[in-house]
């Protein structure tokens, strides 16, 4: 395995179902359909499924489950080590959900920074998936110890106090403030529809049998890209 920069325009899918039980044939079919990168969940990926991804010609990046910032990065570091993920790869922390929304911003910032510090100190590149809902403003996001940002589906909105919302509405006509880090995003996720009973979120990717979310890599405003691992 070797670490290289992702490239602008790359089509990347993330998939919990594949992370939990994907096959070598499905990985090959993803490549045949034009997919170039795969984001897999730490705690679900195992060495066999990682080999399916890399052997098929897909690049790989890891992502955590939502809420993993609460207990530091020890679990993630152990999983990265067990998978043999080389240092330098972007490791995405999933920030989204009601629990995150209801966490006081200062406490959430402290927890994310602690996670990011441990990941960076161990040699990997900490990145943040910004989903919805989450409470931080763009300025607060940009102040974090992470160094890459991935915009989740939909719109990332900051949590404002009633007074802040009223002042913003008086100035702009809207009481909602987009949470946009100053550096922008280096990956964006497309809308895919909501999960329904008996079916995961995402879309069933044509001819693969895999439910995926679809993303595109782009350079952020500083020209930065995520780093992923490829076979070789």
Domains and CATH numbers, the chain: 2-230 (3.20.20.80)
CA distances, 106 to each of 71, 99, 116, 150, 182 (Å): 16, 14, 15, 21, 19
Angstrom CA distances, 62 to 65, 107, 158, 182, 214, stand at 10, 25, 26, 24, 15
What pLDDT is recorded for position 153?
84
pLDDT at 90: 98
- Over 90: is that where the pLDDT of 8 sits? yes
| Confidence label for 35 from pLDDT (cuts 50, 70 and 90) | very high
Q: Residue 112: pLDDT band by 50, 70, 90 thresholds? A: very high
Give the mean pLDDT of 104-126: 98
Q: How confident is the model at residue 199 (pLDDT cuts 50, 70, 90)?
A: low
Q: Which residue has the higher pLDDT, 198 or 212?
A: 212
Of the pLDDT bands very low, low, confident and very high (cuts 50, 70, 90), residue 180 is very high
User: Which of 4-8, 10-14, 122-126, 164-168 has the least mean pLDDT?
Assistant: 164-168
Nearest to 85 by CA among 60, 117, 104: 60
Alpha carbons 22 and 43: distance in angstroms, whole number: 14
pLDDT of res. 168? 76
pLDDT value of residue 169: 81
pTM of the model: 0.94
Q: What is the pLDDT of residues 38-61, one digit of tens each?
A: 999 999 999 999 999 999 999 999
Q: What is the mean pLDDT of residues 184-212?
A: 79
User: Is 200 a residue whose pLDDT tops 80?
Assistant: no
Q: Is the pLDDT of residue 185 over 90?
A: yes
pLDDT over 90 at 193, yes or no: no
| pLDDT above 90 coverage of the chain, percent | 78
Cα 97 to Cα 51, 66, 94, 130, distances in angstroms = 31, 7, 9, 10
Which is more confident, 125 or 211? 125
């Amino acid at each position: 395995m070797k670490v290289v920069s992702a490239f602008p325009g790359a089509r990347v899918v993330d998939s919990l179902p594949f992370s939990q039980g994907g096959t070598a044939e499905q990985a090959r079919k993803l490549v045949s359909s034009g997919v170039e990168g795969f984001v897999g969940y730490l705690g679900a990926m195992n060495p066999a499924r990682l080999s399916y991804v890399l052997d098929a010609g897909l690049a790989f990046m890891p992502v955590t489950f939502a809420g993993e910032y609460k207990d530091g990065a020890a679990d993630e570091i152990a999983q990265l080590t067990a998978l043999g993920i080389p240092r330098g790869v972007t490791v995405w922390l999933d920030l989204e959900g009601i629990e995150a929304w209801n966490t006081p911003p200062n406490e959430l910032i402290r927890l994310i920074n602690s996670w990011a510090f441990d990941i960076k100190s161990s040699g990997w590149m900490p990145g943040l998936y910004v989903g919805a809902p989450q409470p931080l403003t763009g300025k607060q996001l940009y102040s974090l110890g992470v160094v890459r940002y991935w915009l989740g589906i939909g719109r990332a909105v900051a949590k404002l106090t009633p007074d802040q919302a009223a002042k913003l509405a008086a100035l702009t006509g809207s009481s909602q403030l987009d949470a946009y880090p100053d550096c922008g995003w280096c990956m964006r996720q497309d809308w895919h529809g909501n999960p329904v009973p008996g079916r995961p979120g995402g879309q069933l990717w044509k001819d693969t049998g895999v439910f995926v979310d679809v993303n595109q890599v782009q350079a952020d405003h500083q020209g930065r890209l995520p780093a992923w691992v490829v076979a070789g």
